[in-house]
């Protein structure tokens, strides 16, 4: 029997925590699950929302040169024909004739120069054939060739297709970007590594339109911007790596592509691609639709198809990176002072699903409970709050540590002014990471916490 590597053990702990605490569940689990599809539970949904909201805030709200859109998931086949997806969005697939499993060609194992099935070790394999990753459906009552539509495999295409409309309504001047967050679907041959490679996922994409001569410079600019973004959500630069995609692996129309990679427990893998796609996409849609997608420069009186730089990030992969990065175990004393292993998700406070736990010291003391509930009402307009009165206080701290809640407020007898009138209406504020506690006035809590969450 082979023992598991520390990294696969870590991944198992992360997957189990995600289920136990309601971050991520297998889709359709009670029916045996559907491979490559995931549902986010209460905490996972908050985490994902925090990530998307922050991306939208820094990408759209805090910039003058980027505007947002929200396109449809079903896409006219002509769009995906023009973009090249109908012809070419495929992976080479191989079948194992022994166990009947299907694999992406790059996932076969090679022993002594002989390719083998990674499932059963069988050597009786078919030749690779192209498998299109798009999900096809029909729009309307007819189910013939004329009604075919696809679930979009990337959000980018609706940005290109709406370029002219958005240019007209926003009256932006080059360079400017259009941003979108939304679902994308790929019928991946081998979904794997938890949510890393899924069949339904979300992307956060920017198409940043520019003049041809600005393309290479903007590629560098966006690579740096995106690295800074990951640092701001708690993924340190030391765990991020920039891969310059070699000429022979880049899309033929791209003049430069970087992959931003992260050190996941299962290896270094892509989080985001930043690509200079030239004027390929707009030119393709202009040709196929017969509609001009040119930009008119008022100053120079030139008319031309803009080029584009595209930072394309995965929401689900970033959520997974946030969880992997946050997961830690340390030693902390239990109720009786005995050291025990504490699981802590050290999320950046900005990303944490719950910002503050509120605990009355005892649940059977109506004054403590009433005060704690007052604090919940005071904080709720500003942040997500979780009220917990059950179990020993140490256990309640542990439960919040395990889901990454950065702050805990405890209402005790000093809050009621029983020991010292000067301490009336003060509470202890506990920090998740240092476990240090300080005494603060209830009325100061919103400002203190808002400051620390910023």
Which residues of this protein are in contact with ligand GAP, per CB under 6 A? 154, 156, 186, 188, 197-198, 201, 203, 205, 270-273, 310, 312-314, 316-317
| CA atoms of 421 and 425, how far apart (whole Å) | 9
| CA atoms of 296 and 299, how far apart (whole Å) | 9
Element (H, E) at 372: helix 366-379
The CB-of-164 to ligand GAP minimum distance in angstroms stands at 19
The CB-of-198 to ligand GAP minimum distance in angstroms stands at 4
Our CB check for ligand GAP shows the closer of 307 and 355 to be 307
Whether the Cβ atoms of residue 67 and residue 162 lie closer than 8 Å to each other: no
The CB-of-100 to ligand GAP minimum distance in angstroms stands at 23
Strands (E), 253-333: 256-264, 267-278, 295-297, 302-304, 307-314, 327-333
Our CB check for ligand GAP shows the closer of 312 and 400 to be 312
Q: Which one, of 384, 355, 389, lies nearest residue 372 by Cα?
A: 389
The CB-of-318 to ligand GAP minimum distance in angstroms stands at 7
| CA atoms of 108 and 359, how far apart (whole Å) | 53
Q: Give the residue nearest to ligand GAP (CB).
A: 314
The CB-of-201 to ligand GAP minimum distance in angstroms stands at 4
Our CB check for ligand GAP shows the closer of 318 and 410 to be 318
Strands (E), 211-300: 240-244, 256-264, 267-278, 295-297
Our CB check for ligand GAP shows the closer of 175 and 273 to be 273
Our CB check for ligand GAP shows the closer of 314 and 353 to be 314
| CA atoms of 223 and 177, how far apart (whole Å) | 15
Phi first, then psi, for residue 391 (nearest 5°) are 90, 175
The CB-of-289 to ligand GAP minimum distance in angstroms stands at 19
Q: How far apart are the first and last CA of the chain?
A: 49
Our CB check for ligand GAP shows the closer of 273 and 404 to be 273
């Amino acid at each position: 029997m082979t023992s598991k590597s520390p990294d696969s053990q870590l991944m198992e702990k992360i997957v189990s925590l995600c289920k136990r605490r309601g971050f991520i569940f297998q889709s359709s689990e009670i029916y045996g699950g559907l491979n490559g599809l995931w549902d986010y539970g209460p905490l996972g949904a908050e985490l994902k929302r925090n990530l998307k909201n922050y991306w939208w805030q820094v990408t759209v709200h805090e910039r003058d040169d980027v505007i947002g859109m929200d396109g449809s998931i079903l896409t006219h086949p002509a769009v995906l024909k023009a973009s090249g997806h109908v012809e070419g969005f495929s992976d080479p697939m191989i079948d194992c004739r022994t166990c009947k499993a299907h694999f992406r060609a790059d996932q076969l194992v090679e022993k002594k120069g002989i390719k083998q099935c990674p499932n059963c070790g069988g050597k009786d394999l078919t030749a690779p054939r192209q498998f299109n990753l798009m999900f096809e459906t029909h729009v309307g009552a007819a189910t013939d060739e004329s009604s075919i539509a696809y679930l979009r495999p990337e959000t980018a295409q609706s940005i290109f297709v709406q370029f002219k409309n958005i240019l007209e309504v926003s009256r932006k001047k080059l360079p400017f970007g259009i941003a979108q967050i939304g679902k994308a679907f790929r019928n991946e041959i081998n979904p794997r590594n938890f949510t890393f490679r899924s069949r339904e996922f979300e992307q956060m994409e920017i198409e940043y339109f520019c003049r041809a001569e600005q393309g290479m410079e903007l590629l560098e600019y966006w690579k740096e911007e995106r690295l800074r973004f990951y640092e701001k959500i708690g993924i340190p630069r030391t765990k991020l790596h920039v891969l310059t995609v070699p000429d022979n692996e880049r899309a033929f129309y791209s003049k430069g592509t970087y992959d931003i990679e992260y050190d996941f427990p299962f290896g270094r893998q892509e989080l985001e691609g930043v690509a200079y796609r030239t004027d390929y996409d707009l030119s393709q849609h202009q040709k196929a639709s017969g509609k001009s997608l040119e930009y008119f420069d008022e100053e120079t009186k030139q008319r031309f198809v803009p080029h584009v730089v595209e930072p394309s990030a995965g929401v689900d992969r970033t959520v997974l990176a946030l969880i992997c990065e946050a997961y830690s175990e340390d030693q902390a004393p239990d109720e009786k002072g005995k050291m025990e292993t504490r699981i802590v998700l050290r999320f950046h406070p900005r990303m944490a699903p719950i910002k503050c736990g509120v605990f009355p010291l005892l649940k059977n003391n109506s004054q403590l409970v009433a005060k704690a509930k007052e604090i919940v009402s005071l904080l709720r307009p500003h942040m997500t709050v979780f009220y917990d009165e059950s179990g020993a206080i140490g256990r309640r701290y542990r439960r919040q540590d395990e889901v990454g809640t950065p702050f805990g407020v405890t209402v005790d007898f000093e809050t009621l002014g029983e020991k010292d009138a000067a301490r009336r209406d003060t509470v202890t504020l506990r920090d998740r990471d240092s476990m240090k506690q300080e005494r603060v006035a209830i009325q100061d809590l919103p400002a203190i916490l808002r400051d620390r969450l910023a």
